[in-house]
Amino acid sequence: MKQYYLLIFFILTMCVTARADDAFKPEFYAFYNGIPPMPYDDEAIMLKELGYDGISQIYGGGDELVKRVNAYKKHGLKVLSVYLAASEKPINADVVKALEDGGMIELTVKNIIPEVIESIRKTAEMAAQLNIRVALYPHHGNAVATMPQAIDLVEKVNHPNLGIMFNLCHFLKNEKAEDLERVLGKAAPYLFSVSTCGADLNGKDWDTLIQPLDKGTFPQKRLFATLKNLNFSGPVGLQCYAVKGDKHTNLKNSIEAWKTILNELQ
């Protein structure tokens, strides 16, 4: 009888563990544009204390990226991505090599011509050799400004290492909030990553569309419940462009809001 109860206890424990392991908990990164000016080591220490998994959307690459990556590694954090623009020339491997084995290139596209499409394909191939993903970054005012435009370009390039980053602020700027679930469902096969921020549902400018995560009228639970239902498992970044106020306070309040969102989804 004792062995029977031990067996039942073991099975229940395994079930609880499995449910915990299946919990929706994407890695959460702060965009570089939300970090106060400080040495790389201090950046990493601050983000680790706050509970972030690291930093994302670094401008540029090369030697400075190597230094930042090494600083973050010392503290057990990650530099996730660099933010670059597509052109007629493919991105050189030396620019992004520091992100080898798990990093990402966030790629804006200002114009679409055959030469740019081919350079994106070559960039995706180069990055695949380094185990770096390439995600198109829809950006207001660019040739790729919406999710449908990003999907169309991904399908034209037709490379498995090219996907899309969904960005809430640009989606609300260029598309209809009521289309969120439909758009994400269509993009799901290509969805590599997501960025979010506090935003107003009827916001028109960046002051209302990019706020700390604890602000704004857009229901964050709606976005992440949709992603959970789509089995999204990629990273999430916190967009911080031109957010007013103290950056450390904004980062602290935003990650507390992030924890609340995750708790509501479990």
Task: Read off the tokens for 135.
Answer: 């995600």
Cβ atoms of 18 and 45 closer than 8 Å: no
Q: How far apart are CA 102 and CA 15, in angstroms?
A: 30
In a domain, 21, yes or no: no
Residue 158, domain extent: 29-265
Residue 244's CATH number = 3.20.20.150
CA nearest to 140, candidates 209, 213, 196: 209
In a domain, 259, yes or no: yes
Whole-number pLDDT of residue 239: 98
In a domain, 1, yes or no: no
Residue 2 scores a pLDDT above 50: no
The residue ranking higher by pLDDT, 1 or 65, is: 65
Question: What is the pTM assigned to this prediction?
Answer: 0.92
Contacts 24+ apart (CB under 8 A), 49-53: 50/251, 50/252, 50/255, 51/255, 51/259, 52/28, 52/77, 52/251, 52/255, 53/27, 53/28, 53/29, 53/77, 53/78, 53/80, 53/235
In a domain, 222, yes or no: yes
Cβ atoms of 45 and 251 closer than 8 Å: no
Q: What is the pLDDT of residues 141-168, one digit of tens each?
A: 999 999 999 999 999 999 999 999 999 9
Residue 214 scores a pLDDT above 60: yes
In a domain, 10, yes or no: no
Whole-number pLDDT of residue 22: 67
Q: What is the pLDDT of residues 25-47, one digit of tens each?
A: 999 999 999 999 999 999 999 99
Q: How far apart are CA 239 and CA 157, in angstroms?
A: 27
Between the alpha carbon of residue 158 and those of residues 38, 161, 186, 234, the distances in Å are 40, 9, 16, 20
**Count of domains in the chain?**
1
In a domain, 24, yes or no: no
In a domain, 155, yes or no: yes
In a domain, 261, yes or no: yes
- Return the H-helix or E-strand segment holding 99: none
Mean pLDDT of the 49-78 span = 97
